[in-house]
Structure 1
Amino acid sequence: MANEDLLIRKRSAIKAKLTNFCNHVNVLMSCDSLSSLQRIELEGRLRKFDALYDEFDNLQLEIEVLSDKPDEAYGERAKFEERYHAVAAQARSLLISADAGVDGGSVAGSADKSTALVTVVSTRGEKFDARILLDNGSTANFITETLCHKLGLPRRNVNSTISGESYEMAKRRFLSLERRFLRDPSFKERYVAFMEEYERLGHMTENPTSRKPHSGDDIEYFLPHHGVIRESSSTTKLRAVFDASAATTSGVSFNQIQMVGPTIQEDLLSILLRFRQYKYVISGDIARMYRAVAVTPSQRPLQQIIFRTDPKLPLKTYCLNTVTYGTASAPYLATKCLVSLANVATSPTVKSSIERDFYIDDYLSGGNSVSGVVEMVKEVISVLASANFHIRKWQSNSSSILDQVCDSSTVVDCLRLSEDKNASSKTLGLRWVCEADYLAFSISIDDKKQVSKRQILSVISQIFDPLGLVGPCVVEAKIVMQKLWLDKCDWDEQVPESICHFWSNFVNTLPSLNNLRIPRWVVCDNAILHEIHVFTDASERAFGCCVYLR
């Protein structure tokens, strides 16, 4: 642990050098033009800066091997790489402009108090006059389509190509992963089993020929990957996570060239509110949902990975053939395919259920009769199976429904309604205990010795309470955070003694919510009239409301 702490301190020194270089580049970016001395100084600093990444990479590899929390270590790498490549690109752009003797942003004149005429330079070195709107209160930048086209500016999520080399970056990350394999044989066994299943199911294919050196005409991208362990999972204890946000040598990642797509499913709150109105309910999730959707072969070179089962073997490259978890477009592509299946359904009830009762791959639906729910679910299963979507992990508050729609091997006794099932932990998570048919909370929180603003925010962000059932408790933590902002506390400094004492009491009493039991079904049989009563209140520190159904 001491060795790891020393490496982390050395890494902090490297990050400080990165910050210093960023500040220097930002100063130069604000200049009308670079003088000869500024250009010479920038060239010298950039040469030293290029070597900084190798220094960081060597340290980071050691940290990733030693770390008990590799996911956090990989996150630190991703942040550094994104910042490093961005500022390096800015510095090179400044040098290109200086070498061309171009003044890319000088004001040529002004037409009136609110606009100015400026000269801007395209990527081809051509100069254009443009009028800009002067508004120091603006929080966004806009450019007309015509000027964007003239300047040849790259547009995010429009250009479908990726430049730069990614193989060496992915190779370094994989060699780091192999060092963890040596340290943790059990982790390696699970990881290799996962990847072998991936290949056996046809979800990835080994490239038949050895890889040639990257050329500028190649369209390829190699995804780094690492493992996430979820002991609480009833199916996959370990899964590989692919990092499509890792930048190539050009500073561009695969995720940056993808369109994310709109949200086409209903929000979780709406689904849960309907879920609480049915007398009989059922839930399940789609097995390997993303991997049930194939990617067109021409796009698969953008989803390549490096892997081997033993360090003695040569490195192999594979293409991922299906939609991949970790890519920006994956949620939209998978959910769009799912929702489109509603058009196949012959029953309006089934059509509505497919369109409205899925949250990503989780299915939560129900009805007011056993026969009605069974009939609907059987057709949902049939429609989804036609597209290779198979529902598993069935839960229901009625054993009769489960007996008729699935076999006992696909049944579990509790549903965790967590928004991110791949998260390693949740401080406070909502769950449904199906046999007793009530909602409860599962709380796990570490009482750390040093309490900082960063740690408090981390705890708050992990609280998952979409229905606001424990809002009066959670708001206390938010009020603490509010006070820390008002007191201008730094992120990593120890909070004042009074707040530290309050936070300690809060952490110690929060697990008492584990005893809370809330009936899932909020209505009753033979109801003639439903009334909604809403109460609200506010103070200087917080406001809230409570809704009762009568």
Structure 2
Amino acid sequence: MASVSDQSSEDHQPTEIPVVHVYRSRVEQATVQDVLNVLEGDFVEKDTGTISQDDIKFLDVIGNGIKLNESGHYEMFLPFREENPALPNNRSSAFARAMGLKPQLEKDPVKRGHYVTFMNDLLVKGHAEKVPEDELDKPVKWYIPHHGVYNEKKPGKIRVVFDCSARFQGICINDVLLQGPDLINPLVGVLLRFRKGKIALSCDIQQMYHQFHVRPCHRDYLRFLWWEDGDLTKPLKDFRMTVHIFGAASSPGCANYGLKQAGKDNVHIDEDAAQFLQQNFYVDDGLHAADDVETAARVLKGAVKICQEVQMRLHKITSNSDELLAVFPEEERTERKPRDLGKPDKGPMERVLGLQWLTEEDVFTFTQSIKSRPATRRGMLSTVAALYDPLGFISPVVLRGRILLHQTCRDHLDWDDLLPDVMHGAWIRWLDELTALLS
């Protein structure tokens, strides 16, 4: 211990000065294994031990209420903040939304056809049902309006979205639902484990949310209005969803809980397959790697079997190994895209969690067209934010764009001000380099 005070005894009583302590300890030289342990630790999902009271309640409601129903699907309660909440009758609001949708469908026969097909599919598969006449006047109910959304990457395919955030008298269904803890596996961890082995594969659970049913006592909270047989000349009728739906705050938590429960309940089929379902899925997309084809095939077959036990279908299987793909029926595999003759250096490409994977070369790649945007702070932000790179492959290049964007903030440029000449030149040069990199 060393003191910074050295007062003479002849001085009058000294003031008390804080004592500074100096500790010395020898630092051992780090080994290669020490470094690897640190790096690996960055990607291990750790339980922080903290959980909110709402999350505890969610897990209690779902965990104690989940069961296999007569059809073999997992069935769960809706995780309400308060049991069976009394909501106002919002049928009039849902009716107004439906009548606003009607002229859109009448003016666009193509969209109408897609919409009707989607709704009929829900009814045929049992994901929705018509409300029986003797149950129409139940006091506890809620109506969810809906609209159609097209995916620009899947032209001609519509998804009907149920608007669980639609308010009536200041409340919506999402207000009374518990979201639950984040049960989604960390994206970076899933992607890194995907490339640990020589044989890599990806797969998908078909319509994952709709494979988890809602207990009958809660289905009236998921009512909606639709024209029977899709005939717009008929009066609107009451229908209700029987499954957990896109748009509900609780659905991601319920679906991810159900998937992990499937692995837990069927570990006897194959332990590695059960672990795959619990740890290497990011929502409905599963990624896995093994050292050889035999192991990869065993794990995937086990995962398919476990999913079948709870009426889920594992499909869209793809791999960097043709030998592995040959093990599975063609209808369960993704359709191999033909080689692009305009780019002979690149073979078939698959998308795995947003990344572009060249399966023949077994490498990730980037091919993205840079949209023309104004040379403003707003345009810069749109360009930089559009670059999806979760593993940081092109971060050295992206960083330069972010630095330029930061400079506009530092210089207090307004969102739609044109860039100064010097900064504009630097931005254009960066765009040219980025375009060359991604082409």
Q: TM-score, normalised by structure 2?
A: 0.72
1:191 aligns with 2:110: no
Q: Any idea what SS the aligned residue of 2:117 has?
A: helix
Q: How does 1:236-275 map to 2 (within 5 A)?
A: 237-249=157-169, 251-275=170-194
Q: Any idea what SS the aligned residue of 1:266 has?
A: coil
Q: Which residue of structure 1 aligns with residue 342 of structure 2?
A: none
- AA at the equivalent of 2:434: L
Q: 1:168 and 1:460, CA in 2 relative to 1: closer, same or farther beyond 3 A?
A: farther
Contact 1:167 1:221 in 2 (8 A): yes
Q: CA deviation at 1:276?
A: 1.4
Q: Which residue of structure 1 aligns with residue 267 of structure 2?
A: 345
Q: 1:165 and 1:278, CA in 2 relative to 1: closer, same or farther beyond 3 A?
A: same
Q: Which residue of structure 2 aligns with residue 285 of structure 1?
A: 204
Q: CA deviation at 1:436?
A: 2.8
Residues of 2 paired with 1:474 and 1:157: CA distance?
43
Q: Which residue of structure 2 aligns with residue 220 of structure 1?
A: 141
Q: Which residue of structure 2 aligns with residue 307 of structure 1?
A: 226
Q: 1:371 aligns with which of 277, 294, 298?
A: 294
Q: Which residue of structure 2 aligns with residue 441 of structure 1?
A: 366
Residues of 2 paired with 1:307 and 1:500: CA distance?
53
Contact 1:443 1:510 in 2 (8 A): no
Q: CA deviation at 1:162?
A: 5.1
Residues of 2 paired with 1:508 and 1:317: CA distance?
55
Q: 1:166 and 1:455, CA in 2 relative to 1: closer, same or farther beyond 3 A?
A: farther
Contact 1:377 1:405 in 2 (8 A): no
Q: CA deviation at 1:506?
A: 4.1
Q: 1:451 and 1:218, CA in 2 relative to 1: closer, same or farther beyond 3 A?
A: farther
Q: 1:191 and 1:504, CA in 2 relative to 1: closer, same or farther beyond 3 A?
A: farther
- AA at the equivalent of 1:339: K
Paired-residue identity, %: 27
- AA at the equivalent of 2:419: P
Q: Which residue of structure 2 aligns with residue 182 of structure 1?
A: 106
Contact 2:202 2:352 in 1 (8 A): no
Contact 2:375 2:418 in 1 (8 A): yes
- AA at the equivalent of 1:464: Y
Structure 2 unaligned regions, length at least 5: 1-78, 337-348
Q: CA deviation at 1:397?
A: 0.8
Q: CA deviation at 1:407?
A: 2.1
Q: Which residue of structure 1 aligns with residue 283 of structure 2?
A: 360
Q: TM-score, normalised by structure 1?
A: 0.58
Residues of 2 paired with 1:232 and 1:455: CA distance?
23
1:510 aligns with 2:430: no
Contact 2:375 2:419 in 1 (8 A): no
Q: CA deviation at 1:338?
A: 0.6
Residues of 2 paired with 1:503 and 1:227: CA distance?
38
Structure 1 unaligned regions, length at least 5: 1-155, 419-428, 516-550
Q: 1:393 aligns with which of 313, 316, 326?
A: 316
Residues of 1 paired with 2:96 and 2:184: CA distance?
38
Residues of 2 paired with 1:503 and 1:157: CA distance?
50
Residues of 1 paired with 2:114 and 2:424: CA distance?
41
Q: Which residue of structure 2 aligns with residue 325 of structure 1?
A: 246
1:464 aligns with 2:388: yes
Q: Which residue of structure 1 aligns with residue 215 of structure 2?
A: 296
Q: Any idea what SS the aligned residue of 1:228 has?
A: strand
Residues of 2 paired with 1:286 and 1:366: CA distance?
18
Residues of 1 paired with 2:250 and 2:100: CA distance?
27
Q: How does 1:132-143 map to 2 (within 5 A)?
A: none
1:205 aligns with 2:129: yes
Residues of 2 paired with 1:203 and 1:245: CA distance?
21
Residues of 1 paired with 2:315 and 2:204: CA distance?
6
Q: 1:269 and 1:306, CA in 2 relative to 1: closer, same or farther beyond 3 A?
A: same
Q: CA deviation at 1:321?
A: 0.4
Which of 164-173 and 303-312 deviates more? 164-173
Q: Any idea what SS the aligned residue of 1:442 has?
A: coil
